[in-house]
Structure 1
Amino acid sequence: MNTFKSVFGMCVAVPAAISLLAVSAGAAPLMNQLGFAPDAEKTVVFPGNDANGLEVRDLSGKTVLKLKAPDVYEWDYSGEEVQTFDISAVKKPGTYRLFRGGEYVGTPMVVAKNVYDDLVKASLKWFYYQRSSMALEPQYAGKWARAAGHKDDKVIVYGTDKATGGKGKGTAIKSQRGWYDAGDYGKYIVNSGITVFTLLEIYEHFPKYADSLHWNIPREFPKYPELLEEVRYNLDWMLTMQDKDGGVYHKVSTLKFSGSVLPENDVAQRYAIIKNVTATLDFAAVMAQASVVYAGIDKAYADKMLKAAEKAYAWAKKNPEAFYKQPYDVQTGSYAPGDENGKDEFRWAAAELFRATKKKEYQEDLKANAFTANGAWWGDVNMLAAFRVALDSADFEKELVDAAKKVVMNEANNLRAVGDTSAYRLPAFPWSWNWGSNSAMANNGMVLVHAYLLTGDKSYLDGAQQCLDYLLGKNPHDITYVTGFGYRSPRNPHHRPSESDMVDDPVPGMLVGGPHLGKQDINLDGKESWKCPNYAASDKPALAYIDNRCSYATNEVAINWNAPLAYLAAALEAIYNK
């Protein structure tokens, strides 16, 4: 709800249930703390109901823009009264200051080319810091260097050893390389799937920009662009997870989460846990996509991945009801939504395999499995299939292309309508405020970028900018949600390496999960002292966040959260700096 009142007139339709925050007239502005490209939309939010207008001055004191006070809106997600100024008319590169009532407020605002370049590189380099099975050396990792952990050269297949219900010592596989999934040390196929897709989308959509990026990682394949080198480190691990029959194990992890220790000190036995249809199809989709992307630089590797993808899809067709069920003695992440039916995974895999092979059977499967309106997250990959068909329309029959474009554009139009009328100018649905809400905002931005790529309509790019603005400071906490960036950023992420490395600064470039009202980590009953204090007392989702290591619900990091952040920032960089 976004009811408003004029700062000079009477209230209009303000519901009694809204509890407004008391904010002084001199409140600091909330804005993207990294700045804006010259031609980007630029909005600034002021909490409160100040009758003063806004002046934007350059560093010489010259006024370059003068605006009257806008209407006051109320944002349900925070309970605030706010005013939003559109200062997009400021296009000349430079550093600017904001004034209200003749007083300087807030922090400087930057307008420049390549303003997100360092953010893109840091958000991508973070995947190097998440590498399993190798030491991070000082020349690449700096003060975050660490010893190797989780060599994973003897991972036990779950259920084959006595500890997990088997009769023998256990069947072992090698499952080396790959990225740690989040704040823990597990490696998960389902979450790797959407993550790798998103990173490869950067390369598919913006290859020239992606080729220009360098961020100091060890080079094993010097002819690869660095982005594809990093992604290969995880693809190599994913390939180890495929059994001889084509099925793919769900994850590699210990039976229980470790404590806050460095990787080298987490020495409990690790398991490859349960082949299933969703992991197998996510694997098939990503391997098919990667086979297309890598074909021009490493045909042998591309062929290997495509063969693995087709074998996985065949296994899934034979085992369509083999859904993952978390064993009673396994307490690491399940990555298994309760309403799983596999249709979205079949849809995505079929789309990617048809593009890679042009084999009719995959398109026929896709035609028999209609797109839904669902947005993208690890538990529903329908939108990934729609992205593929809509943007690679030459490969698919017209009826599929039309259906895919309709799904993407309907979602984008709904997001744009919300963003254009929201007090914070944020394209967010009520269901965006969930575990990993910041990734939902980034994924919403991805939808809007795809709509822009389909239409060339800049209003969709403006919506994507709104999503990034929120993540980089235009939010009620007045912080960037990315470690190491902006004037204020998280210092205490829920991330085992950061918790145990004795380095005050967290690794830069990590997107934390963000606010929501799940309260999974709050000490509600007082019986578990290690849980967080009640940081969500207001019951407003946009306020329910705490920068504390205890908060795995709001301050953890994850590969599938960083990937859409990298895509969103890279897209804006590439498009505005052609």
Structure 2
Amino acid sequence: MKKFNSVVLSVALGSALSTSAVAGPLLINQLGFTPESEKLAIVPGSDANELEVRDLNGKTVLKMDAPMVYDWEYSGEEVQTYDFSAVKTPGTYRLYRGGEYLGNPIVIGDCVYEELTKGAIKWFYYQRASMPIEAQYGGKWVRAAGHPDDQVIVYGTDARTAPGYEKAVGKKHPKAGQNVMINSSKGWYDAGDYGKYIVNSGITVFTLLEMYEDFPTYMDTLSWNIPRELKNYPALLEEVKYNLDWMLTMQDVDGGVYHKVTTLMFGASVMPELDGAPRYAIIKNVTATLDFAAVMAQASVIYKKADAAYAETCLKAAEKAYAWAKKYPKAFYKQPSDVQTGEYMHGGEDGKDEFRWAAAELYRAKVAYGAGKDKAAAGYLADLKKNKFTPDGAWWGNVNMLAAFRVAKDAATFGADLNKAAKKVVMDEANNLRAVGDTSGYHLPAFPWSWNWGSNSAMANNAMVLLHAYYLTGDKSYVDGAQQVLDYLLGKNPMEISYVTGFGYRSARFPHHRPSEGDLVDDPVPGMLVGGPHLGKQDINLDGKELWKCPNYAAADKPALAYIDNRCSYATNEVAINWNAPLAYISGALQAVYLGNKAASVK
């Protein structure tokens, strides 16, 4: 950080283009702000001019002196941050410098994030497998049903060998060399490809159900245009059930859960109905089984009011899965040599975080069902007590923070000691993030390791930590930190782009997403959060021969600049369900908080 010492109008924006550069770029949340939200604008450079906020009649409502100049290591820029939080009257405004306006108009309104929340959730409808997307619900993004998945082959040596197979299935076990088939229909396509993955579904379902549980009153007021078949269900719970139904099909009769349903290799960029290669349910393992157990237990609590029978089904499945994981704690997934689809397994996996999360969810569920003192519940609680929380998470590869969220908000269920330990993990992480957000050039609560594949999801998960700190303390500074993340995702970034398709003045238009590539529709499906910038460049040949001819992206040497809005860039412009879920969460939670809602899940 340094004070300004000269007037410099240079701008380091990589390949970004300014939408209106009369007096220079303005990097800001392109959707706007609520009256009570923190309102920050970034101006690259170090000039010493003041800014004015004017309404559309030209009246000046706020004058701001030139602030400190910060160097932001992640983009190599000098930037200034202007704070106009004092402007609270709903309306449309512009920022002026030297009599000329910067950037696009700025909206202040009570519900500026509501449509974003609905759009981010509705995207899951567009990701549904095994059903068509009809015009009355999908608009111009109609498509035929893809992947019925009613004849999925159980992969290789993982054919059903569980005791009691014939009794459970009602037919003899196939002889050697014969395929075992399961019906594994429904579910969401995971990302830009057409695979369905339990591990990634786990954190995704958790995040969406957590949003419902934290703000049920607000979420019950929201509706979006999807087919409604379950009248007793809130819209969000009906959407999530579509994926839970698929997850239930992935549990074998012995309780173990298959890792994924995919083809052996990634398919071409075609519409789903044209992707006809055989599909496989691939390899039961402990991490998939525990992720399954955790979300099924979570669902058993949340769905109990709307559908008691379904909730009990989920709880029984969760308990059966946990028992299998206890029996096979070292049964980690290993990618077969002839399978090239996503692994969702990382080096150093020990299963402790998955056991921690599943035990927390199962114990809470048993208490909710009045069985908190039975033998199984005692086992879950004992496992949780001896498996201490760690200062990690959250992403699909480490779900420790999901367990910490659960326990930190529920002293009544888990007791003072566990509750205190979980709170410490959440608050330490939140305080570290807040310190970075308060002092960094872009006021973005991000760690160096946040800049990886799916960096935008890492940022959104950081915001979830900050929001949970707010629920635990009532300190609005944590809300401001989450707001800073949403601002970044929606345009307050060096690329001057909203990373959410269809939202903002200048948003991502060419995601790496097979339906968007194959549907012949110019506009991408709205509401998708693209992966975001990082220096991995897995889709670029780094030997000088550029695989996809993306020179600006290939030359980027700062993580916040290493992004290109191009279908070829699966490393920076792919979409994924576990990236959209935290986007939906933070936009929905912030909107609910600004409307005066309190987190209903804190006990």
TM-score range, shorter chain: over 0.9
Report the counterpart of residue 459 of structure 1 in structure 2.
477
Q: Secondary structure at the match of 1:415?
A: helix
Report the counterpart of residue 253 of structure 1 in structure 2.
262
Report the counterpart of residue 96 of structure 1 in structure 2.
93
Whichever residue aligns with residue 117 of structure 1, its letter is: E
Runs ≥4 residues deviating over 3 A: 7-10, 19-26, 525-534
Report the counterpart of residue 137 of structure 1 in structure 2.
134
Partner residue of 1:499 out of 517, 531, 540: 517
Deviation per CA, 1:91-137, whole angstroms, max 9, x where unpaired? 00000011011111111001101101110000000000000000111
What percentage of residue pairs aligned between the two structures are identical? 74
Distance 1:537-1:526 versus aligned 2 partners, 3 A rule: closer
- Superposed, 1:37-48 pairs within 5 Å as 37-48=34-45
Deviation per CA, 1:302-357, whole angstroms, max 9, x where unpaired? 00000000000000000000000000000000000111000000000000000000
Distance 1:25-1:214 versus aligned 2 partners, 3 A rule: closer
Report the counterpart of residue 230 of structure 2 in structure 1.
221
* 2:168 paired with 1:159: no
Distance 1:76-1:459 versus aligned 2 partners, 3 A rule: same
* 2:445 paired with 1:447: no
* 2:29 paired with 1:32: yes
CA shift, 1:294, in A, is 0.3
Report the counterpart of residue 489 of structure 2 in structure 1.
471
Q: Distance in 2 between matches of 1:143 and 1:189?
A: 30
* 2:531 paired with 1:537: no
Q: Distance in 2 between matches of 1:369 and 1:39?
A: 40
Q: Secondary structure at the match of 1:5?
A: coil
Q: Distance in 1 between matches of 2:228 and 2:157?
A: 37
Partner residue of 1:335 out of 319, 335, 344: 344
Report if aligned partners of 2:467, 2:479 keep a CA contact under 8 Å in 1.
Answer: yes
Whichever residue aligns with residue 84 of structure 2, its letter is: I
CA shift, 1:25, in A, is 11
Q: Distance in 2 between matches of 1:62 and 1:323?
A: 64
CA shift, 1:528, in A, is 7.5
Partner residue of 1:114 out of 111, 114, 130: 111
- Superposed, 1:255-274 pairs within 5 Å as 255-274=264-283
Report if aligned partners of 2:13, 2:495 keep a CA contact under 8 Å in 1.
Answer: no
Whichever residue aligns with residue 65 of structure 1, its letter is: L
Pick which of 25-34 and 396-405 moved more: 25-34
Q: Distance in 2 between matches of 1:475 and 1:525?
A: 29
Report the counterpart of residue 171 of structure 1 in structure 2.
180
Q: Secondary structure at the match of 2:204?
A: helix
* 2:357 paired with 1:348: yes
CA shift, 1:60, in A, is 1.2
Report the counterpart of residue 14 of structure 1 in structure 2.
none
TM-score of the superposition, structure 1-length normalised?
Answer: 0.95
Pick which of 303-312 and 357-366 moved more: 357-366
Q: Distance in 2 between matches of 1:86 and 1:538?
A: 29
- Superposed, 1:45-124 pairs within 5 Å as 45-124=42-121
Q: List alignment gaps of at least 5 residues for structure 2.
A: 160-174, 367-371, 597-603
Deviation per CA, 1:370-418, whole angstroms, max 9, x where unpaired? 0000020000000000000001221002111000000000000000000
* 2:425 paired with 1:427: no
Q: Secondary structure at the match of 2:444?
A: coil
* 2:293 paired with 1:284: yes
Whichever residue aligns with residue 97 of structure 2, its letter is: R
Pick which of 439-448 and 525-534 moved more: 525-534
Q: List alignment gaps of at least 5 residues for structure 1.
A: 11-18
Q: Tell me how many residue pairs correspond in the alignment.
A: 565
* 2:409 paired with 1:391: yes
Deviation per CA, 1:177-231, whole angstroms, max 9, x where unpaired? 0000000000000000000000001100000111011111111212200000000
Q: Distance in 2 between matches of 1:7 and 1:87?
A: 23
Report the counterpart of residue 6 of structure 1 in structure 2.
4
Deviation per CA, 1:73-98, whole angstroms, max 9, x where unpaired? 11000001100001100000000011
Q: Distance in 2 between matches of 1:291 and 1:502?
A: 41
Q: Secondary structure at the match of 1:535?
A: helix
Report if aligned partners of 2:22, 2:101 keep a CA contact under 8 Å in 1.
Answer: no
- Superposed, 1:504-515 pairs within 5 Å as 504-515=522-533
Report if aligned partners of 1:155, 1:174 keep a CA contact under 8 Å in 2.
Answer: yes
Distance 1:527-1:83 versus aligned 2 partners, 3 A rule: closer
Distance 1:73-1:196 versus aligned 2 partners, 3 A rule: same
Whichever residue aligns with residue 511 of structure 1, its letter is: L
* 2:200 paired with 1:200: no
CA shift, 1:28, in A, is 1.4
Report the counterpart of residue 170 of structure 2 in structure 1.
none
Q: Secondary structure at the match of 1:215?
A: coil
* 2:200 paired with 1:191: yes
TM-score of the superposition, structure 2-length normalised?
Answer: 0.91
Higher relative contact order by CA 8 Å / sep ≥ 6: 1 or 2? 2
Report if aligned partners of 1:523, 1:532 keep a CA contact under 8 Å in 2.
Answer: no
CA shift, 1:72, in A, is 1.1
Report if aligned partners of 2:50, 2:65 keep a CA contact under 8 Å in 1.
Answer: yes
CA shift, 1:538, in A, is 3.0
Q: Distance in 1 between matches of 2:552 and 2:53?
A: 39
Report the counterpart of residue 244 of structure 2 in structure 1.
235
CA shift, 1:532, in A, is 4.8
Deviation per CA, 1:220-268, whole angstroms, max 9, x where unpaired? 2122000000000000000000000000000000000001000000000
Report if aligned partners of 1:56, 1:65 keep a CA contact under 8 Å in 2.
Answer: yes
Report if aligned partners of 1:531, 1:550 keep a CA contact under 8 Å in 2.
Answer: no
Q: Distance in 2 between matches of 1:471 and 1:540?
A: 17
Q: What do you get for the CA RMSD once the two structures are aligned?
A: 1.8
Q: Distance in 2 between matches of 1:541 and 1:415?
A: 18
Report the counterpart of residue 312 of structure 1 in structure 2.
321
Report if aligned partners of 1:523, 1:533 keep a CA contact under 8 Å in 2.
Answer: no
